[in-house]
Amino acid sequence: MAVTYEPIATSTITGSTVASVTFSSIPSTYTDLVVVIQAKGTFAQDGIDVTFIFNGDNSGGNYSVVYMNGNGTTTNSGRNSAGIGYFSFVPAGNNTAGVYSANVHHIMNYANTTTYKTTLGKISFPGNQAGANVGLWRSTAAIGSIQLQISNGSQGYYETGSTLTIYGIKAA
């Protein structure tokens, strides 16, 4: 029996200067993708964005996201339409050692060539917030690569031990 939900690739950070991870040559044979990010950044601040760049498209005008979160005291909702895909948010260097995110991002119908690509994210940032977001990449191209960038080089790197995994889900 064909496997319906299977891992495509995993990247575990072992070096100290990895700012970006790219999953390329993603097969088009699945229906949805699921990206699991258990990560932390090294930059000296509380949290940091992990941005999604699809098919190398780093044009700031092609991505937008709306989010909501709660930090135990207040709730917040906002939008970002000025940058690349700010779809994930993880602990950074000011957090206790061993505190990593548990974020899950669904990318629906990623291989469809007639619609823009919509993502659903669940953000679990221990000690800081719980949240969710919906993102959009305004391109009808099938997604063949996903770059997960924690920094452009000026805001630190992935903490050693961070893991990023892509799964494929195949409908009947």
Partner 1 sequence: MAVVSIKNKLRRGNLLVGNEAFIPTSYESIATGTVSAGNTSSVITFSSIPSTYTHLQLRMFARATASNTMFVRFNNDSGSTNYDNHRMNGNGTSVASDARINYSALFVSSRGYGIPSTANIGSAIVMDILDYTNTNKYKVTRTLSGQELNNSNSDIEFTSGSWKNTNAINRIDVSIDTSTLAQYTHIALYGIKGA
Is residue 65 a contact point for partner 1 (CB under 8 A)? Answer: yes
Q: Among 3, 15, 25, 73, which residue sits at the site for partner 1 (rule: CB under 8 A)?
A: 3
Is residue 153 a contact point for partner 1 (CB under 8 A)? Answer: no
The CA distance from 96 to 116, in Å, is: 38
Residue 74 has φ and ψ, to the nearest 5°, of -135, 160
Chain residues 33-62 in contact with partner 1, contact rule CB under 8 A? none
Helix, strand, coil content of the chain in percent (nearest 5): 0, 50, 50
- Taking only Cα atoms into account, the Rg of the chain, rounded to an integer number of angstroms, comes to 15
Is residue 108 a contact point for partner 1 (CB under 8 A)? Answer: yes
DSSP string, 18-53: --EEEE-S--S--SEEEEEEE--B-SSSSEEEEEEE
Least Cβ distance, residue 58 to partner 1 (angstroms)? 17
Chain residues 71-100 in contact with partner 1, contact rule CB under 8 A? 75-79, 81
Three-state SS at 73? coil
The residue among 20 and 118 lying less far from partner 1, judged by its C-beta, is: 118
Least Cβ distance, residue 133 to partner 1 (angstroms)? 6
Q: Among 8, 18, 20, 32, which residue sits at the site for partner 1 (rule: CB under 8 A)?
A: 32
The site string for partner 1 over 111-130 (x = CB under 8 A, - otherwise) reads -x-xxx-xxx-x--------
